[in-house]
Amino acid sequence: MSSSSSGAVRGESAPASSASTTRQAKRNEVLIGLVNWMKKNKRELPMRAEDVTPWGTLVGEVMSQQTPMPRVQPIWSRWMQLWPTPAALAAAPASRVLVEWGRLGYPSRALRLRECAIVISERPGGQVPADFESLCSLPGIGPYTASALMSFQFHERRAVLDTNIRRVIARIFSGIERPASSSPTRVERELADSLLPSSGAECATWNLALMEFGAISCTSKNPACDTCPLVAECAWFVAGRPMVEVKRKSQAWAGTDRQARGRVVQLLRDLHVSGDSSASSASSDSPVASGDSSATGNVPSPIDEAAPTVSYSAALEVATLPGSDLDQAPRVIEGLLADGLLVRVGEDRLALPR
């Protein structure tokens, strides 16, 4: 029986077909190979330790989305020292949360985690829920993060489909270099469900082993096939490693709004860390740079006056990238205000949210 996006996969009860039996036998060989590989190659990541709480796993999974583990590890450890429970993070100022997010990227994730913590702490018991639907109802938590929590923490029999796992399954069992779709398809989910071991604990081992193997050995570029213990089982390797003809375009960074947004948020983070109270610019007399609400349509927000601030013109200067169009910097700042990553202080200054 395959799972839906909201249901766990139950143990098999109907007689297995010949194809299913063959697939299960192959899965068993792959699992044995992965377990042996993990004994020698598993990374000792603090967020994967046995004593990590469901809250710690939730934070780690959100942080590691589109972010390499080496960058996540020190930030996660710092967060667990500061905010080991949802209630602790819920009580933290949003500005501190953004500062402690560091350079992980996509800082809106930090604010969503804080919103998630607030919702959890307001519920009876104040604990991370142990069912898929309740997890998905939390701010910033989607099916992938909920599936990871249900598998790794609560040992529910559920497939976890991150980029690494999808790639390994596609190569070993489907004989293709990588999935064609950027998000899991119904066919992918059904295949992943059919490969799950019979117990929830084994499923957690299976999911984690696939994830680690994809991150370290069966990588997107230059997979280590010459030292791979699974080449005999890998349909992609046996087929001669056929490459996908249409290559995905990598996300640009230089010159994008993302880069400009990051520069503005980092400016205010640096002021918080250094203890400086403000930054200004000589061009602060322009209508848009001054933060004139009639020019921008935004209403100033109250904030602790002791918090570090920058003038609108200073933010514009930082958001202006070489060769960018004239509209980019104002658009970036207004986007940060709309996303809650900046707030107005008076008529002409900006700050991180409280």
For the stretch 188-231, pLDDT in tens is: 999 999 999 999 999 999 999 999 999 999 999 999 999 999 99
What pLDDT score was predicted for residue 22? 87
Query: Residue 80 falls within a domain, yes or no?
Result: no
pLDDT of 21 reads 82
Structural domain harbouring 339: 257-351
Region of residue 102 (left: phi > 0; alpha: psi -120 to 50; beta: else): left
Confidence at residue 271, expressed as pLDDT on a 0 to 100 scale: 93
Mean pLDDT of 5-24: 65
Q: How many domains does the chain have?
A: 1
Average pLDDT rounded to a whole number, residues 317-339: 96
Question: What's the whole-number average pLDDT of the chain?
Answer: 88
Residue of 12, 44, 50, 61 marked active site: 61
pLDDT digits (tens, 9 = 90+) for 267-294: 999 999 887 655 554 333 332 223 333 3
For residue 154, the model assigns a pLDDT of 98
Buried b (16+ CB within 10 A) or exposed e, 294-323: eebebeebebeeebbbbbbbbbbbbbebee
Structure-block tokens of residue 254: 């230089």
Distance CA 171, CA 160 (A): 16
| 234 lies in some domain | no
> Would residue 160 count as lying in a domain?
no
Model pTM?
0.85
3-state DSSP call for residue 279?
A: strand
Q: Does the pLDDT at position 256 exceed 50?
A: yes
Determine, yes or no, domain membership for 243. no
Would you call 190 a catalytic residue per the annotation?
Answer: no
Residue 39 counted as domain residue = no
Over the stretch 43-100, which tens digit does the pLDDT of each residue have? 999 999 999 999 999 999 999 998 999 999 999 999 999 999 999 999 999 999 999 9
Give domain status of residue 312, yes or no: yes
Grade residue 1 by pLDDT with cuts at 50, 70 and 90. Answer: very low
- 181: buried, middle or exposed (CB in 10 Å: 19+, 13-18, 0-12)? exposed
Q: Is residue 269 part of a domain?
A: yes
